[in-house]
Amino acid sequence: MKRKFAVICLLLTTLTVLVNDAEARRSGSPRREAIDMVVIHSTGGPTCDAKTGKPVWIGAGTLDDNMRKIEANSNLGIHYMIDRDGSLRASVAEEQMVHHVYHYSGRSIAIELINDGDGIDPFPDAQLASLVTLLNDIKQRRGIKRDGIKRHSDLDHGRMTCDNTQRRKIDPGAAFPYKAILDQVFPSKKWASLQSDL
């Protein structure tokens, strides 16, 4: 009887911890800094294999799997995730801080793109169009400037613990059309006037 009771208690404790972690990632810490930055990530990238202690590449995964993992993680979080087909999912409210990039989380909004982040996996047009729409919305509401749209790799220059010759974060990767996205969100005045004449 005691053993059965102990097992039930252990299961209830485990379920409570899992629920609380998942709940915690749908809300974040209160912000102490003004938002002046958006950081673009990809879901795939390098990591250290727990078994071998060697670098491995993690693929993009699916939107549902990534949302589940991130929202169940007690340390990490995101504000938005965009799937390859352009589907957008929100997680933590923008007014709350989530840990997504060292030293910049307090002042930034996190956007994850479903992509391997290896510089080879292409970013589909639907995904990029959804990103541009979201960035335009954030820009209007938050007053974000062109130099406030950053890639994760622009900010995190740390090295992998299992191989200090490799960077920890290189996302969203070389295949991400960074300048083209910025040009769509922040068109030059000449281009904007040409569009208004049409």
Domains of the chain: 36-187 (3.40.80.10)
Element (H, E) at 195: helix 189-197
Angle at the Cα of 46 from the Cα atoms of 45 and 48, rounded to 5 degrees: 140
Q: pLDDT by residue for the chain (198 residues), tens digit each?
A: 444 433 333 333 333 333 333 343 467 788 999 999 999 999 999 999 999 999 999 999 999 999 999 999 888 899 999 999 999 999 999 999 999 999 999 999 999 999 999 999 999 999 999 999 999 999 999 999 999 999 999 999 999 999 999 999 999 999 999 999 999 999 986 555 555 555
Give the torsion sign (CA, 107, 111, 116, 122): negative
CA dihedral 148, 151, 153, 155 (to 10 degrees): 20
Give the DSSP letter of residue 182: H
User: The pTM is what?
Assistant: 0.82
